[in-house]
């Protein structure tokens, strides 16, 4: 398997006239070809910022970000635009940001393919295939702006997949969908991987969508702290040796507290030290 995304110690600082906000604090991420990955976590944890880095919409303040072999920090604007139009499909949060409201549903999906310079017949056939897959073929002649939010979301996903991208970045792809349609989107993402080899990274607050992915990575404080796969949860060790414990252990290991580390032959144990006991010892 080839590596599609390789992020090492990425730092991203949003600067304004009056302040600086550190959105990413040494984030690490490795995604291999054909993986389905969900980024979850509370608002402000850095999920959308990390996605913007992968799309080339932002550049890292420090660290390395490589996407499909390209160094995002060093790429020119022209290289980033070419990369994004041909190899990366994007579904931004809020369906109105992904579609031309006065164009028809079919036209939106066909227009998304123009950068790939596909023949008109190929664009038409691809649009029909994708609209059928998202259940919107019957609305192909309607203007996108007349659709409901959920319908727009499905058309936007079809447009994001129109060029057959090697990497799909989707920010809250099921946010405006009911359970049945959300399950259909999850299935379509798997189909994109199985049929076209698309690697998928989604940002989501949808627990069911997260569980449908191969890996579910939880971000906290600008870093990826835990990973869930195959029903098991793991702590992720940072390159500097730091470990973010799962949220359900926070009451045992409060911030600023100390823990005794015990090395065993086949594992390492962490023992929380109560403040009163620590003071006596």
The 10s digit of each residue's pLDDT in 38-67 is 999 888 899 999 999 999 999 999 999 999
* pLDDT, tens digit, 9 for 90 and up, residues 140-170: 999 999 998 888 988 998 999 998 899 999 9
pLDDT of residue 24: 92
Is residue 68 pLDDT above 90, yes or no?
yes
Contact in structure between 223 and 46 (CB atoms under 8 Å): yes
Q: Strands 259-263 and 268-272: what pairing?
A: antiparallel
pLDDT value at residue 149? 83
For 107-119, the pLDDT digits (tens) are 999 998 887 777 8
The mean per-residue pLDDT over the stretch 27-34 comes to 94
Residue 233 pLDDT > 90, yes or no?
Answer: no
Give the pLDDT confidence score for residue 229 in this predicted structure: 84
User: Tokens 């989604």, residue?
Assistant: 202
Phi, psi torsion values for 270, nearest 5 degrees:
-115, 125
Query: Which domains does the chain show, CATH number per domain?
Result: 3-280 (3.40.50.300)
Residue 281 has a pLDDT of 47
- Strands, E assignment, the chain: 3-15, 20-32, 36-40, 62-67, 70-71, 88-91, 167-171, 199-203, 215-220, 223-229, 232-235, 259-263, 268-272
Please check the confidence at residue 276 and state whether its pLDDT lies above 60: no
Residue 241 has pLDDT above 80, yes or no: no
């Amino acid at each position: 398997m080839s590596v599609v995304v390789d992020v090492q110690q990425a730092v991203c600082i949003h600067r304004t006239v009056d302040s600086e906000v550190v959105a990413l604090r040494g984030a690490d991420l490795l995604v291999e070809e054909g993986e389905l990955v969900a980024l979850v976590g509370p608002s402000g944890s850095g999920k959308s910022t990390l996605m913007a880095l992968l799309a080339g919409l932002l550049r890292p303040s420090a660290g390395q970000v490589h996407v499909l072999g390209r160094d995002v920090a060093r790429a020119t604007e022209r290289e980033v635009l070419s990369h994004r139009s041909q190899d990366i499909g994007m579904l931004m949060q809020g369906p109105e940001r992904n579609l031309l409201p006065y164009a028809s549903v079919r036209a939106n999906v066909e227009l998304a393919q123009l950068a790939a310079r596909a023949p008109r017949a190929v664009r038409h056939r691809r649009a029909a295939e994708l609209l059928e897959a998202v259940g919107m073929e019957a609305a192909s002649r309607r203007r996108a702006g007349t659709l409901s939010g959920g319908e727009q979301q499905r058309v936007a996903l079809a447009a994001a997949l129109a060029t057959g991208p090697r990497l799909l970045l989707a920010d809250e792809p099921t946010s405006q969908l009911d359970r049945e349609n959300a399950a259909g989107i999850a299935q379509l993402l798997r189909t994109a991987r199985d049929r076209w080899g698309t690697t998928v990274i989604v940002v989501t607050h949808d627990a069911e969508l997260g569980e449908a992915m191969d890996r579910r990575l939880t971000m906290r404080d600008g870093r990826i702290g835990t990973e869930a796969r195959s029903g098991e949860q793991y702590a992720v060790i940072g390159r500097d040796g730091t470990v973010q414990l799962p949220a359900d252990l926070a009451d045992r290991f409060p911030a600023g507290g100390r823990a005794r580390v015990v090395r065993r032959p086949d594992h390492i144990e962490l023992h929380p030290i109560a403040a009163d006991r620590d003071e006596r010892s």
